[in-house]
Amino acid sequence: MLSPEEWSVIELSLRVALIAMLWTLPVAVGLAWLLARRDFFGKSLLDALVHLPLVLPPVVLGYGLLVLLGRKGPIGAWLNDWFGITLAFTWQGAAIAAGVAGLPLAVRAIRLSLDAVDRRLEQAARSLGAGKLRVFATITLPLALPGVLAGAILSFARGLGEFGATITFVADIPGETRTLSLAVHTLLQVPGGEAAAIRLSMISIVLAFLALMGSEYLNRRLAKRLGTRP
């Protein structure tokens, strides 16, 4: 039913979105914790910086990534010289772009759930002899897990749909950076590509549905395990 090229597009899209989600999640948890629980100089600046990808045109975001992480960019050159890592025009770069685009969504979801964790439970844990790190790992994080899950799903979904930053940073290279959105866009540019574009569009709708249903299922199981629902 689907051609090998189409399968590779799907596989690549899932890989990029998954890697994007995996690297942003710990970063988002750290940032959300800082923003929810700490007061420090420059906090509002950090807050604005975290939210920037949400309000910036994705193309500008991608251009920014190219300037910083491109072969000649300050970070990109360093990565290349020291580790031989190239991000521009690679699928790993696509995962970076997708992750950065989804980061604010993940941070917002996790921050909300951290805010909702009852601080008095943390105090109780401290009075039982648990240090700050143990309290975070055994009380705060498990209780905030629904928000972390929501953040993960949002980041994954955003990664799956990412277009502007991706095409600017890593271009549209078949088999390397041509994800679902890029493939649909390309197909619409060529005469007679419409049927294939519709097929891929249907697939992205199915993928989006599956992600949402999966998250709903996990959320219900979590609520049970967390004792917030019997």
Partner 1 sequence: MNAAMNAIVVDVALRLDEFVLQADLRLPGNGVTVLFGSSGAGKTSLINCIAGLVTPQRGRIAIGERVLFDAQAGIDLPPERRHVGYVFQDGRLFPHLTVASNLRYGVKHGSGAVAFDEVVELLGIGALLKRRPLTLSGGEKQRVAIGRALLSSPQLLLMDEPLASLDAARRAEILPYLERLRDHFALPIVYVTHDRAEAQRLAAHVVLIRTGQVVQQGAPAEVLPAVLLADQG
Which residue number, 95 or 125, has a Cβ lying nearer to partner 1? 125
Does the protein bind partner 1 through residue 131 (CB under 8 A)? Answer: yes
Among 69, 103, 125, 167, binds partner 1 (CB under 8 A): 125
Which residue number, 72 or 225, has a Cβ lying nearer to partner 1? 225
DSSP assignment of 125-187: HHHTT--HHHHIIIIIHHHTHHHHHHHHHHHHHHHHH--HHHHHHH---TTTT--HHHHHHHH
Site for partner 1 in 141-160 (CB under 8 A): 142-143
Residue 4 dihedral angles phi and psi, to the nearest 5°: -55, -35
Among 128, 189, 192, 195, binds partner 1 (CB under 8 A): 128
Distance CA 136, CA 126 (A): 10
Which residue number, 43 or 229, has a Cβ lying nearer to partner 1? 229
State in angstroms the smallest separation of the CB of 24 from partner 1: 25
Does the protein bind partner 1 through residue 127 (CB under 8 A)? Answer: yes
- Cβ proximity of 34 and 46 under 8 Å: yes
Size of the site for partner 1 (CB under 8 A): 21
State in angstroms the smallest separation of the CB of 142 from partner 1: 5
Question: b/e for 161-185, b at 16 or more Cβ within 10 A?
Answer: bbbbbbbbbbbbeeeebbbbbbbbe
- Cβ proximity of 124 and 45 under 8 Å: no
Site for partner 1 in 167-226 (CB under 8 A): 225-226
CA distances from 109 to 43, 51, 155 (A): 18, 12, 10
Q: Which of these ranges, 54-62, 102-110, 134-142, 181-189, lies near partner 1 under the rule CB under 8 A?
A: 134-142
Does the protein bind partner 1 through residue 35 (CB under 8 A)? Answer: no
Q: Which residues bind partner 1 (CB under 8 A)?
A: 118, 120-121, 123-131, 138-139, 142-143, 225-228, 230
